[in-house]
C-alpha cells in the first residue's frame, strides 16, 4: 500500500467527471488521428505485407498436402506404384515436389501399343477395371493449385489491401496510441504516481509488439495446422479465401498484444495501491477463469488459438504476482531506508 501522506496530492490536479470525459475524448481523437496516419503509411506497404501474411497459410497448406501425398503412398494397396516410398519421400521432402495419383490403362495411352489379347482381354463392352495401373502426376509444390489462395469477387482484393494497411497502421501507430491511453490514465493519478507512466509506457509497447510477433510467427502456423487437420478428420478439402484469412490475422496478433499487457497492468494497480500481491495470489483461480474467457473473446473460435493465448497469459499472471511481490519488498526496503535516514538526522 502507498505510504500515507498528510497533504492532498490531488489538490492541484482534481478533475470532475465531465473533465475526465473530455480528457478521454481528446485522447481518443488524438489516438484515432495517429491510427489514420499509420494506415496511410500502411497503404504504401500493404502489398509486401499481404505476401508476408500469405506465407504461413501457404506453408501450412503445403505441409498438409505433402503429408497427404506421403499417406497416399504409404496406404496404397492396389497395383504397386512406379516409385518406392523412399523415392517419393525424397521428392516431397527434399525436392519440393508433390503429386496427385491417377489410374490409367497403360495400353490405352497414345504410345502405339496394341491392346492385350488372349484370356486377359475383357469381354466386349466391359470396362477393364482390373487392368488399371497407377501413375503419379508430379509438379512443384509452389504451383499446386490446392496451395493457392482464392478470392471470389473482383472487389475482394481491394478489401484485402485495406485490411493489410489497417494491420500495418495498428502496429506503426501503437506507440502513439499507447502514449495517449497512458496519458489518460496519468490524468487521474497523484503527481508522485504519474512518473510510473513514463516507466511503464515503453514496457507496455514492448509487451504489445512481443505478443504480435509471437502470435504471427509460431502460433499462427500451429493454429492453421490444427484447423487443417480438423478439416481432414471431417473429410473436407480446405479452399481458403484470402479475405477470411486476413480477418483471422487481424484478430489473433492484436488479441495477443493486448493480452500481454496483463503483468504490467497488475504491477501498475499494485503500485497505486488498488491491489497487492497477496490479493492476486488469493484470487488465482478466478483469474485463470477470467483469462480463459477473455482468451476466447480475443481469438478466433477454435481451441488452439485460445489455448495458445490462455497458457502464456496464465504464466504472465503468476509472473505478475512474483513481480508485484518483488516490487513491494523493494519499496518496503526503500521506505525503511528513508525512515532510518530521517531517524539518524
pTM for the model stands at 0.62
Distance in angstroms (rounded) separating the CA atoms of residues 296 and 263: 19
29, part of any domain: yes
Distance in angstroms (rounded) separating the CA atoms of residues 146 and 45: 27
**Confidence at residue 207, expressed as pLDDT on a 0 to 100 scale:** 83
**Confidence at residue 269, expressed as pLDDT on a 0 to 100 scale:** 81
Residue 223 · residue 305 · CB < 8 Å: yes
4, part of any domain: no
* DSSP assignment of 73-92: HHH--SSPPSS-HHHHHHHH
97 DSSP assignment: E
177, part of any domain: yes
180, part of any domain: yes
196, part of any domain: yes
Residues of the domain holding 154: 18-60+148-260
Residue 294 · residue 316 · CB < 8 Å: no
300, part of any domain: no
**Confidence at residue 121, expressed as pLDDT on a 0 to 100 scale:** 58
77, part of any domain: no
End-to-end CA distance of the chain: 26
**Confidence at residue 302, expressed as pLDDT on a 0 to 100 scale:** 64
> Which three cell numbers mark 137?
502426376
**Confidence at residue 1, expressed as pLDDT on a 0 to 100 scale:** 43
> Over the stretch 24-74, which tens digit does the pLDDT of each residue have?
888 889 999 999 999 999 898 888 888 887 878 888 888 888 888 888 888
What is the CA 134 to chain-centroid distance, rounded? 41
Q: Which residues pair with 99 in a beta bridge?
A: 138
46, part of any domain: yes
Structural domain count, the chain: 1
Low-confidence ranges of the chain (pLDDT < 50): 1-13, 112-115, 117-119
Amino acid at each position: 500500500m502507498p505510504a500515507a501522506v498528510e497533504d492532498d496530492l490531488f489538490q492541484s490536479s482534481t478533475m470532475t467527471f465531465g473533465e475526465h470525459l473530455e480528457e478521454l475524448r481528446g485522447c481518443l481523437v488524438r489516438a484515432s488521428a495517429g491510427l489514420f496516419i499509420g494506415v496511410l503509411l500502411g497503404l504504401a506497404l500493404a502489398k509486401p505485407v499481404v505476401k508476408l501474411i500469405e506465407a504461413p497459410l501457404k506453408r501450412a497448406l503445403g505441409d498438409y498436402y505433402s503429408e497427404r501425398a506421403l499417406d497416399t503412398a504409404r496406404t496404397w494397396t492396389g497395383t504397386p506404384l512406379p516409385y518406392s516410398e523412399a523415392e517419393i519421400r525424397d521428392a516431397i521432402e527434399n525436392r519440393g515436389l508433390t503429386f496427385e495419383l491417377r489410374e490409367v490403362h497403360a495400353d490405352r495411352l497414345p504410345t502405339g501399343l496394341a491392346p492385350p489379347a488372349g484370356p486377359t482381354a475383357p469381354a466386349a463392352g466391359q470396362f477393364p477395371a482390373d487392368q488399371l495401373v497407377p501413375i503419379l502426376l508430379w509438379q512443384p509444390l509452389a504451383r499446386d493449385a490446392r496451395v493457392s489462395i482464392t478470392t471470389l469477387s473482383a472487389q475482394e482484393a481491394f478489401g484485402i489491401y485495406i485490411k493489410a494497411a489497417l494491420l500495418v497502421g495498428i502496429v506503426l501507430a501503437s506507440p502513439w496510441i499507447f502514449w495517449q491511453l497512458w496519458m489518460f490514465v496519468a490524468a487521474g493519478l497523484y503527481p508522485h504516481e504519474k512518473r510510473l507512466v513514463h516507466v511503464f509506457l515503453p514496457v507496455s509497447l514492448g509487451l504489445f509488439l512481443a505478443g504480435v510477433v509471437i502470435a504471427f510467427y509460431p502460433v499462427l502456423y500451429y493454429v492453421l495446422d490444427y484447423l487443417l487437420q480438423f478439416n481432414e478428420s471431417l473429410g473436407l478439402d480446405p479452399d481458403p479465401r484470402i479475405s477470411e484469412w486476413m480477418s483471422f490475422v487481424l484478430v489473433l496478433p492484436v488479441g495477443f498484444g493486448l493480452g500481454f499487457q496483463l503483468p504490467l497492468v497488475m504491477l501498475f494497480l499494485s503500485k497505486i495501491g488498488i491491489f497487492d500481491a497477496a490479493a492476486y495470489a488469493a484470487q488465482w483461480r478466478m483469474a485463470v477463469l477470467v483469462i480463459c474467457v477473455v482468451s476466447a473473446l480475443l481469438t478466433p473460435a477454435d481451441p488452439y488459438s485460445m489455448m495458445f493465448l490462455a497458457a502464456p497469459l496464465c504464466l504472465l499472471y503468476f509472473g505478475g504476482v512474483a513481480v508485484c511481490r518483488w516490487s513491494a519488498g523493494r519499496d518496503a526496503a526503500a521506505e525503511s531506508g528513508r525512515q532510518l535516514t530521517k531517524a539518524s538526522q
